[in-house]
A and B are shown apart, each in its own frame.
Chain A
Amino acid sequence: MSDKQTKAPPEVEVTDLTKSFAAVRALDQVSAKFRAGRMHALLGENGAGKSTLVKCLMGYYRTDAGKILVDGNEHAIEHPRAAHRLGLGMVYQHFTLVPRMTVAENFLLGRDSLPAVIDWVAQHALLDEFMARMPFKLDPRRLVGTLAAGEKQKLEILKQLYLGRRFLVLDEPTSVLTPAEADEVLGEMRRLVDAHELTVVLITHKLREVMQFAQDVTILRGGKVVAQTEVAACSEAGLATLMFGEALPLEKEGTATKGASRHDRAYLELEGLDVIGDRGTPAVVDVGFKVHAGEIVGIAGVSGNGQKELIEVLAGQREAQSGSVRVDGRPFRRRRRQLESKGVSLLTEEPLANAAVRSMTVMENLALRQFDRAPLSIGGIVLKRRALRPFARALIARYGIRAGSPSARLDTLSGGNVQRTVLARELARDVRLLIMQNPCFGLDAAAATDIRRQILRARDGGAAVLLVSEDLDEVLELSDRVLVMAGGCITYETPRANADRYEIGRHMTQGPARLSA
């Protein structure tokens, strides 16, 4: 590996790259140049073609047309191994680590050639020597499952360096990191780039990261390159305009705390909640908080710190070991009658899997809360199919659901429209308690803005809103009060006015002793 260290990092260029999936043209004659020893940002909305472009470089997709040049020579990269041989590597958005193996095992598994029998003593010696040269340190003997999200991200990057990759694509590397961790990781990458050790392509939609760390930026929109330039020559607002086409700011209709409409009485009260997770270990530990009517309480936290189990208890999908949940002063039983009389609405994460029936039509899914009530039913026994369609049409129009027809199957809709469908169903009644988990995960900016607007509207209508999200920006944007969940506990609380993202980030990563994965 030492001879590779002395070689310059590769320069990669693509010309007129085109790639289609069925009827969708994901890349349309894309040309871009990633200069050697520079930090590039690849900027664009969801669906702009960023991932498709880099997956073509990495040999996961065959391109329909166009050329890939590495150090000036054309290469047909037909397999990931071909990319590896050229020194191209990628760090994925979702970790590709094996949690129940050690750091060392994960390192070795990435190698294209592995000896049949592994001499662990020698390998550990080599790894220790490698770690000594690296900007971040990790103990090769640790189980990956016990690492925090930020450490896993570092491990992914270290793994690529260990494998001798000199051209690194980082796919939204900071989406699971706290602000401080993000700054550390990107700062170290920039240092390696400046030392001419690496060429880095950073895929992101966070303008702040582009402005702070990148040198060059390529902006994709709808599968086309709309600009390629040096970061020093642009402003943040200019980049945003290039990325979205037109400005799309969130309406600021009352994001500030509405002291006037806020009631003093708590509508949702949790006390001493203990929940056991899937692996039989405690996932939620002694959690207690209150949500008042007319207030959005946001729970920030890195995923896997008990948020999922907490929401499952509120959704009736999991039993708590002990503790109490009270709604409007009464014990919460999650029976249908009580959900209705107390106005409880719920949007869990991945609604297609958790909160809707994928093989039913859009209109049936919209009616799941009310199908046996007038006007949709006669006496709660016979479903009035004729009433169903106008009922669904009204909701489809009001919530802007893009579906072929009300009788299209739900799983033919895009993620954003499934989300809107479930949200429409949950909001199409008297809402007094709204519980949401990652409501905008995987949505494009327009859909996310739209859904956030609906949440604010519910709050302004006097509903108590509990928002559990892994997206710290979203929590800070919407919440009146911010709680931090770490290691299954609520470790920090602050009103939005005093919220400091670094302070919150610190609590997100520290918390009590982390639960093992």
Chain B
Amino acid sequence: MTGTFDLGWWGVALAIVAGAIRVSTPYLLVSLGETLTEKSGRVNLGLEGTLVLGAMSAFATCYLMGSPWLGMLAAGVAGAALGLLHAAICNLPRVNDIAVGIALFIFGIGLAFFLGKPFIEPRAAMLPSLPLGNWSDNPAIRSAFAISPVFFIGIALAVSLEWGLKNTRWGLVLRMAGESADATRAIGLSVDRIRTLATMAGGSLAGFGGGFLSLYYPGNWNEGLSSGQGLMAIALVIFARWSPLRCFYASLLFGGASAIGPAVQTVGITEGYYLFYAAPYVLTLGLLIYSSSRTRTLAGAPSELSISR
């Protein structure tokens, strides 16, 4: 308490930075997953459901088996399974990926709530964090710089995806499937197979994001855990113009916006702070209006996406 007080307004800035790092991680994982899926030419709007199901799977596995890392693995598997379901349905003729995504969004949440009822009360082991603030004896700084390794894994993923899309075989093939299904078929590759794999990989990343929610921050399992973060992450992909690296910056921005509310509370502002809790939603709305303007271009959108056709 005194630590925060001593830092004054610096404390608010610190809390926002710390919050941005904590809150941005699930945004980052989900948006990287969605970028991967959209680069292959499909939109998976079901990632909110995947996120929640991932959170539930991670928490339940960790509670039952005692290992948070096993929980993360379970979240990834659950996400990949939902991704496979999405892809399998979309591979059927005349199926719209947006509609399937919305159905799976509801399905994933419903399934998570149904299976997750017994796990609402208990506590489970949490993911560890790296104590990067030990150089300071200020407790506020120490807690702000206790950063989850998952955050760094996310950064590494963003960088390697950005590189891999340009410099690896699967990166080129994935982009080709997203840019021209005809061209892909013409060289004898199966577009459906590429998109299925991309949707599964994207789903498992979103599952990891869910695991982070229930096993690190906020670090429990309840039905209001995600509050739309999966959907906001999809909006964020548009803002980031389908670039993994820009997804990282955009996630930090969204994380920072989400952290404004709690941060102003720490300096004792008691009135109107709840308005700041709405910041990420306002940001999403603003970005979507900005990016869907009729005269502005959707440059960077993969050509095969149903929104760009």
Cβ–Cβ contact A98 & B169, under 8 A: no
**Which residues of chain A are within 8 angstroms of B214 by Cβ–Cβ distance?**
none
The chain B residue sitting closest to A81, CB to CB, is B188
Cβ–Cβ contact A116 & B169, under 8 A: yes
Is B257 at the interface (CB under 8 A from chain A)? no
- Please choose the segment from B78-86, B225-233, B292-300 that sits at the chain A interface, where 4 or more of its residues have CB less than 8 A away: B292-300
Is B303 at the interface (CB under 8 A from chain A)? yes
CA distance A429 to B297 in the complex (A): 41
Is A276 at the interface (CB under 8 A from chain B)? yes
| 103-122 of chain A: CB within 8 A of chain B | 105, 108-110, 112, 114-118, 120
| 147-198 of chain B: CB within 8 A of chain A | 167-170, 172-173, 175-176, 179-180, 182-183, 186-188
Interface code A248-288, partner B: CB below 8 Å = 1, 0 otherwise?
Answer: 00000000000000000000000000001001110000000
Which among B168, B176, B179, B296 is the interface contact of A116 at CB below 8 angstroms? B168
Cβ–Cβ contact A96 & B183, under 8 A: yes
Given A96-B182, A100-B179, A280-B296, A110 contacting B168 (CB threshold 8 A): no
In the complex, number of A-B residue pairs with CB atoms less than 8 Å apart = 65
Cβ–Cβ contact A109 & B295, under 8 A: no
Cβ–Cβ contact A280 & B295, under 8 A: yes
CA distance A99 to B183 in the complex (A): 10
Cβ–Cβ contact B298 & A99, under 8 A: no
CA distance A99 to B295 in the complex (A): 22
Chain A contact-residue range equals 20 to 34
**Which residues of chain A are within 8 angstroms of B183 by Cβ–Cβ distance?**
96-98, 109
The chain B residue sitting closest to A280, CB to CB, is B297
**Which residues of chain B are within 8 angstroms of A114 by Cβ–Cβ distance?**
169, 172-173
**Which residues of chain B are within 8 angstroms of A59 by Cβ–Cβ distance?**
188
Cβ–Cβ contact A98 & B175, under 8 A: yes
Cβ–Cβ contact A100 & B303, under 8 A: yes
**Which residues of chain B are within 8 angstroms of A79 by Cβ–Cβ distance?**
188
CA distance A96 to B184 in the complex (A): 8
Is A222 at the interface (CB under 8 A from chain B)? no
A-B contact pairs, 24 of them (CB 8 A): A59-B188, A80-B186, A80-B188, A81-B188, A84-B188, A92-B186, A96-B187, A98-B175, A98-B183, A99-B179, A99-B303, A100-B303, A109-B172, A109-B176, A110-B187, A112-B188, A114-B172, A116-B169, A117-B169, A120-B167, A276-B295, A280-B295, A280-B298, A280-B299
Counting from the closest, the 9 A-B pairs by CB-CB distance are A280-B297, A80-B188, A96-B186, A114-B169, A96-B183, A98-B179, A98-B180, A279-B297, A98-B183
Other A-B pairs, 16, CB within 8 Å; known A98-B175, A280-B298: A59-B188, A80-B187, A96-B186, A98-B176, A98-B183, A99-B179, A101-B179, A109-B172, A109-B173, A110-B187, A112-B188, A116-B170, A120-B167, A276-B295, A279-B297, A280-B296
